[in-house]
Amino acid sequence: MLNYKVGDICDAIINGEVIAIGHQANCFNTMNSGVAKAIRLRLPCAWEADQLTVKGDHEKLGTISVGQLRDDEGVPTGVVYNLYGQYNYGYDAKGYTNYAALANALAAMRDDLLTGRDLWNVGFPKIGAGLGGGDWDTIAGIIGEVFDERFNITIYTLE
């Protein structure tokens, strides 16, 4: 079951409300619009992880890169997942979200999270449904299929 909350996903992980967040990224290392831009500016570890991948690499589609948040002493405090669920990007209302790739990336995120904990508080924006042009009901169904009762999933919206 997905829970919905009006709030800022960056604040949620910074304040410890969730221990991990995932957002959809394209394969061109941009993170210059929408939620991705906010994450790049406020959670630079996600941007740094994205920059370590090959720009434009079609093989990234359906995979993840991972940024580790740390406090001032270097202690890990959270994890940000770049979910490569779209190859290209644009502002023209085309459907860039690739549902199969997003499902694969979410499964990779889930599998990575399952190391070391019994229960995870995880946050997502409405991934793939904004600039990615995907259908939110379809994407919500994919999230529900990939994540089970070991995860408390909160979807953050700004309104």
Contact 124, 113 (CB under 8 A): no
pLDDT computed for residue 159 by the predictor: 83
DSSP line for 64-103: EEEEEEE-TTS-EEEEEEEEE-BS---SS----B-HHHHH
pLDDT computed for residue 93 by the predictor: 62
Of 124, 133, 136, which is closest to residue 5 (Cα–Cα)? 124
User: Whole-model pTM?
Assistant: 0.95
pLDDT computed for residue 92 by the predictor: 66
Mean pLDDT per segment of 10 residues, for the chain of length 159 residues? 96 96 96 94 98 97 97 94 93 82 98 83 94 93 96 94
Specify the DSSP class assigned to residue 12.
H
Q: Write down all domains in the chain, each with its CATH number in brackets.
A: 2-157 (3.40.220.10)
Q: How far apart are CA 130 and CA 144, in angstroms?
A: 19
pLDDT computed for residue 131 by the predictor: 83
Contact 62, 84 (CB under 8 A): yes
Q: How far apart are CA 155 and CA 157, in angstroms?
A: 7
